[in-house]
Amino acid sequence: GSSDSESSLRTISGLQGIRITQVVAGPRFNASTDDGFALALTDQGEVYSWGKSTRGRLGQATTDNVRSPRIVEALSGKDIKMISCCDMHCAAVSTTGKLYTFGGHEGGRLGRPHGDSVSWEVTRFMSSDEQNEIENVKIDYVACGQQFTVCINDNGDKVYGFGKSNGGVFGLPIEREVKSPMHLAHLDPLGPFSKVACGK
């Protein structure tokens, strides 16, 4: 909620009187030029963002930096239940199982072919061979890595991955950009899943 350095904890004035259930902070992309950013989720399913607005990662309709928490209008009324972020992109999951992403789209990490400052629903989920679309997918949990995203369906029996697959981030020997969420079928025997985490 400020551009000044802080040496102790303090209340963020822009969130006073609002019950917060989750806070996520994106790592700084470049320590010398990036001031970082954060998102907060309320008990009413609304999302607030603030910080340096790089590549639309705040989900705001402006590219200006945001000094104090501001509601993410594109997610307003969507009844969000969880949020995740990394350095250049963010994701949110609604109580109805919809997945929303925003920020930098490089490498396919948004699960759709374009990126912008407005949050969009990810609607196309693909089979493990990427030949067939899987219908009626509902997401329960999501985690953002540096150039990729991983999510779990509402039954906890399928994990999907999208983005840059370099370094075996999906547990597969593939080195390419996965543009739509791909079912990581090789993980099925390890389920059911309730949470997933991604490294930078």
Structural contact between residues 44 and 68, judged by C-beta atoms closer than 8 angstroms: no
By mean pLDDT, which of 28-32, 84-88, 98-102 is the weakest? 28-32
Q: Which of 11, 124, 114, 142 is nearest to 69 (CA)?
A: 11
Q: What is the pLDDT of residues 147-174, one digit of tens each?
A: 999 999 999 999 999 999 888 899 988 8
Three-state secondary structure call for residue 89: strand
| Mean pLDDT, residues 51-78 | 88
Residue with more model confidence, 118 or 122:
122
Question: Buried (b) or exposed (e) across 19-33, using 16+ Cβ within 10 A?
Answer: eeeeebebebbeeee
pLDDT given at position 48: 96
Averaged pLDDT for residues 135-158: 95
Q: Is the pLDDT of residue 71 over 70?
A: yes
pLDDT value at 23 more than 70: yes
> Using an 8 Å Cβ cutoff, are 165 and 107 in contact?
no
pLDDT score at 115: 55
